[in-house]
Amino acid sequence: MFGDGMDALLIARLQFATTTSIHFLFVLVTLGLVTMLVYLQTAWAITGKAEYERLTQFWGTLYLINYALGIATGIVMEFQFGLNWSGLSRYVGNVFGAPLAIETLAAFFLESTFLGMWIFGWHRLRRGVHLALIWGVAITAYASAYWVLVANSWLQNPVGYRLENGVAHLTDFAALLTNPTLGMAFGHVVSAAVLTGGLLMAGISAYQLIRRTPDYALFRRSLRIGLVTAALASTMVMGFGFSQFGAVGGVQPTKYGGDAEKSAIVSDWTTRFGPGDYTPPAWSNAALGFMILIGFALAWSWLLLPLLFRDWIIRLRFPLYLLLIAIPLPFVAGILGWLAREGGRQPWAAYGLLKVEDAVTPISSGVLLTSLIGFAVLLGALAVTNWTLLARRAHRGAHDLALGRPPHSTDESGARPNHVLAG
């Protein structure tokens, strides 16, 4: 069914696109919800109100479910560079590997350490120390996203390097951090994640209010917080997004540049690398267009803010349904944005330096097809499991939360926990 050559390349690209897209869904929730948790627990620490503690427990539980399963998808991503893209690793690994190594330290060591202490530190650590831990989780999560984008931005616009014996070597680390394709992209991704977290909070709260939850006051509060966050973040998403056209277009003429700029650089590449199709695929612009449409659609969240006055948003009820059905939109927009960013630099793995066809590992298409099916099934199962668990926990509401339960508390049946009885 599949031959070698370009078919093997197609399979490798499909595998990377599939696994990266699924992983990015987890990232959006992780960054978005940890931002909401920082606000909720800070409000709890300042005001001492029990409702903020319960909200921190409820949304913290959803965050932990997503984080635990998302870690597995991230590990798969790391393996692919060595397995399927050895040409890329060999050619640019000395540059590309540095920010990824820093990201690994931030995500798998600092972030997980802070998170573990936060989970088990409830009612054991001072309130200020416990609050500092969730801030530490959030900061390292943002740092992780930053260093991933540092690496990705270098592929978009290679800077601060020299070529020696066909291998790129890092010569200017500061150039990585000032890459024109980095700053606005980081702001765009972070604000998209915050938009996702805010809309997820507003949508789940709307669901609880639609079914007339006994925790009305609790989810009324989280509805307001989520909706205001989503509205503010939607403006930031559009601002950072549109600002990228100038920055990225200046260093990638084939993505957004005019015909004259495209023709000049394509002519230069044809001389250096030989004849070929150096124009990005049409679907990358289509993905960009649909992402922008979703961005404008989500901006209607501003129109719902006046309905918070005297709880008209709850009394009218139909805005609650709108928030509920809008939950998938930021996820769809996130995937479309990633496709536009990555597809727009084709046919390059590293823009102007290394073609995708030269970056792939020279292995048979049969092996690649097997790994594609295996990884797609594995990550697909993790994604389905994640959303099933999130939906079940969200449906149950804010009662009987294990996270943050006092050591000597009772469960819903009135029985003392086993570890208490054993003591």
144-156 residue pLDDT tens: 999 999 999 999 9
- Name which of 152-161, 253-262, 337-346, 383-392 the model is least confident about: 253-262
Identify which has the larger pLDDT, 258 or 221: 221
Spatial distance between the Cα atoms of 275 and 93, rounded to a whole number of angstroms: 27
Average pLDDT over residues 14-40: 94
Least confident of 147-156, 257-266, 304-313: 257-266
pLDDT at 24 over 60: yes
Amino acid at 97: G
Q: What average pLDDT does this structure show over 396-409?
A: 81
Instruction: State the Cα–Cα distance between residues 357 and 9, nearest whole angstrom.
Output: 6
pLDDT of amino acid 409: 57
pLDDT at 400: 79
Domain that holds residue 37: 6-418
In a domain, 74, yes or no: yes
Q: Pick the more confident residue, 106 or 109.
A: 109
In a domain, 423, yes or no: no
What's the mean per-residue pLDDT of the chain? 89
End-to-end CA distance of the chain: 63
Does residue 1 sit within a domain?
Answer: no
Q: Measured over all CA atoms, what is the biggest interatomic distance in the chain, rounded to whole angstroms?
A: 78
Domain annotation covers residue 370: yes
pLDDT over threshold 70, residue 180: yes
**Residue 259 confidence (pLDDT):** 74
Q: Is the pLDDT of residue 328 over 70?
A: yes
Q: Is residue 140 in some structural domain?
A: yes
Give pLDDT, residue 77: 74
**Considering its fold, how many domains does the chain have in total?**
1
Average pLDDT over residues 271-289: 90
420: confidence class by pLDDT, cuts 50, 70, 90: very low
Integer Cα distance of 370 and 366 in angstroms:
6
pTM of the model: 0.91
pLDDT band at 6 (very low <50, low <70, confident <90, very high): low
